[in-house]
Structure 1
């Protein structure tokens, strides 16, 4: 199940977002609106949910949340965008990675779902 997370996630939301992949959550993060969509099997599915909610594609980046280690991964097909000088699946800008890490940790970090 994909949820849009606008404020700290609830334990039930974490459980539902983890249903698809079990040990991690695929995310689309809107760095402009400071929200994320998580869950499902593809980053693109999360991206579509944010686009339907009014986000602009240029502000959405793909990431993964690993709740057991409380870490963020920055690799996704939706991150390949030459127009933003990102020619890789990995988010290449260290400042953007740090911004995404801080946002994801503030919304999903230390949420007890078990």
Structure 2
């Protein structure tokens, strides 16, 4: 199940987002709005939820969150953006990575 998370996630939301993959949650994070969509099988599905909610694609980055270790990884097909100087599946810009990590921690961390 994919959830749009605009404020601190509940344990129930975390559990529902974990249903698909078990150990981790695929995310799309809007670094402009400070929100995320998580769950499901593909980052692109999460990205679609954000786009339908009014996010702009240039502000959305893909990541994964591992609740057991409270860690974020920054690799997704939606991150390949030559026009934004990101030619890799991994988020290369350390500033963007930090923004993603902070949003994930604020909305999902410690639950």
How many pairs does the alignment contain? 111
Whole-angstrom distance in 2 between the partners of 1:44 and 1:87: 17
1:56 paired with 2:56, answer: yes
- Any stretches of 5+ residues in structure 2 without a counterpart? none
Which residue does 1:107 correspond to in 2? Answer: 107
Whole-angstrom CA distance in 2 between matches of 1:79 and 1:86: 7
CA–CA distance in structure 2, aligned partners of residues 94 and 86 of structure 1: 11
Distance 1:50 1:64 in 2: 16
Residues in 1 aligned to 2:59 and 2:94: alpha-carbon distance in whole angstroms: 16
After the TM superposition, which segments of 4 or more aligned residues of structure 1 sit over 4 Å from their partners? none
- How far is 1:95 from its partner? 1.0
Please give the root-mean-square deviation of Cα atoms over the aligned residues, in Å.
0.4
Match of 1:33, SS? coil
Q: Give CA deviations for 1:60-80 in whole Å, capped at 9, x if unaligned.
A: 000000000000000000000
The one-character-per-residue Cα deviations of 1:31-56 (angstroms, maximum 9, x if unpaired) are 00100000000000000010011111
TM-score (norm 1): 0.96
